[in-house]
Amino acid sequence: MSKPWFEQWFNTKYYHILYKNRDFDEAELFIDNLYNFMGLSNEYVCDLACGKGRHSVYLNKKGLRVLGLDLAAQSIAEAKKHENGALHFDTHDMRDVYKDEKFDVVFNLFTSFGYFDDQSDNLQVLKSVHQMLQPGGRVLIDFLNAKYTVANLVEDEVKEVEGIEFHIQRNFNGSHILKNIQFTAEGKDFDYTEKVQAVSYDDFNRLLTEAGFKIETTFGDFKLNTFDEEHSERLIIVAKKQDGAN
Ligand SMILES: C[S@@+](CC[C@H](N)C(=O)[O-])C[C@H]1O[C@@H](n2cnc3c(N)ncnc32)[C@H](O)[C@@H]1O
């Protein structure tokens, strides 16, 4: 059986080429806002599904001890170039518990959730995060606002990056937002489909509660404006591990 899409696509160099123009200023502004809102100073935090570590590096620059984890070995190899005494990276599947470490906060940033075919895996991610947190620790999930995203899907797009023409088609199949990406590079044709479950606020609330969390706050964008399911681009959730849970 072939590997699931997220194990293949995120581990290609073409994924990094397509998304190379991600807005770093916006990412840093987001971290600045979260850092202030969450009252952080010298905590030990995990950047779960960290990619090449852009948020991890900045969180560490702000004085936090950081462990970045991601399934994509190529991304972790890149991220490791930034390592220092208080910044480390490792390959890891977010469904599993990263043993022997307890964090004050686990971040899951930039739509790094809802990738699995088996719905129980979403719950498994949150249960593992729960075990990786100190008592009273918090998880921060930065996800797309499914309702807004589905209502505003750009169905067809062509994007040229580094001389590669990426043909992108998006659609919603009733449960997942699908983004098909076709391109030709180095004489070969490629065809990948990102598949993200349209997890709503209510879905998160149910999953987080079942995993032993209570939602404390939600925001609707990187500036931390209020979440509004009709109009917000993002669904950003801060949830706290409940007392009495392990
Ligand atoms: C949309 S990217 C976001 C990366 C990073 N947070 C950022 O903002 O640049 C999603 C990331 O999730 C990672 N990922 C996918 N499935 C994973 C899994 N099962 N466990 C850990 N990481 C996973 C991918 O390798 C990819 O780096």
Kindly report, residue by residue over 17-60, the tens digit of the pLDDT.
999 887 778 889 999 999 999 999 999 999 999 999 999 999 99
Q: What is the DSSP letter of 224?
A: -
**Predicted local confidence at residue 2, as pLDDT:** 84
- 231 plus 166 within the same structural domain: no
Are residues 111 and 223 both part of a single domain?
A: yes
Flag whether 246 is in a domain: no
Query: What is the mean pLDDT of the segment spanning 101-118?
Result: 96
* Pairs from 28-34 (Cβ < 8 Å, separation ≥ 24): 28/58, 29/222, 29/223, 30/142, 30/222, 31/55, 31/58, 31/59, 31/62, 32/62, 33/222, 33/223, 33/224, 34/140, 34/224
Residue 126 has pLDDT above 70, yes or no: yes
Q: Is the pLDDT of residue 245 over 80?
A: no
Let me know whether 231 and 163 are in one domain: no
Verify that 142 and 58 share a domain, yes or no.
yes
Single out the residue of 37, 74, 29 nearest to residue 55, CA to CA: 29
Could you tell me if 225 and 180 lie in one domain?
A: no
At 1 the pLDDT is 64
Same domain, 113 and 18: yes
- Looking at the fold, whether 136 and 211 belong to one and the same domain comes out as yes
The residue whose CA is least distant from atom 6 of ligand 1 is 50
Q: Are residues 27 and 138 in the same domain?
A: yes
- Do 174 and 214 lie in one domain? The reply is no
Return the residue matching tokens 């581990």. Answer: 11
- 136, 212: one domain: yes
Give the whole-number percent of the chain exceeding pLDDT 70.
98
Please tell me the predicted confidence (pLDDT) of residue 120: 94
Query: Facing residues of 218 across strands?
Result: 237
133 part of a folded domain: yes
Would you state the structure tokens that stand for residue 97, as one six-digit string? 């518990």
pLDDT at 179 over 70: yes
Q: What percent of the chain has pLDDT over 90?
A: 92
Residue tagged 């937002």 (tokens): 177
Nearest to 111 by CA among 241, 183, 10, 208: 10
Q: How far apart are CA 137 and CA 131, in angstroms?
A: 10
* Mean pLDDT, residues 99-107 taken together: 94
Ligand 1, CB within 6 Å, residue ranges: 6, 10, 49-51, 54-55, 70-72, 75, 93-95, 109-112, 115
Do both 89 and 123 map to the same domain? Answer: yes
Question: Ligand 1 center to residue 10 CA distance, Å?
Answer: 7
**Distance (Å) from CA 49 to ligand 1 centroid:** 4
Q: Which of 3, 5, 10, 54 to mutate to test the pocket of ligand 1 (most atoms within 8 A of CB)?
A: 10
User: How much is the mean pLDDT over the chain?
Assistant: 95
My answer on whether 23 and 136 are in the same domain is yes
Question: What residues make up the domain containing 155?
Answer: 149-194
What's residue 117's pLDDT? Answer: 87
How many domains does the chain divide into?
A: 2
pLDDT over 90 at 100, yes or no? no
pLDDT confidence of residue 21 = 80
Name the residue of 3, 5, 6 to mutate for ligand 1: max ligand atoms within 8 A of Cβ: 6
pLDDT at residue 140 tops 60: yes
Report CA 220 to chain centroid distance, whole Å. 15
- The answer to the question of residue 184 being in a domain is yes
Any idea what the CATH number is for the domain that residue 112 is in? 3.40.50.150
User: Is the pLDDT reported for residue 89 higher than 90?
Assistant: yes
pLDDT tens readout for residues 221-237: 999 999 999 999 999 99
Indicate whether 51 belongs to any domain. Answer: yes
pLDDT of residue 244: 65
Average pLDDT over residues 157-181: 97
On whether residue 81 sits in a domain, the answer given is yes
Q: What is the pLDDT of residue 96?
A: 98
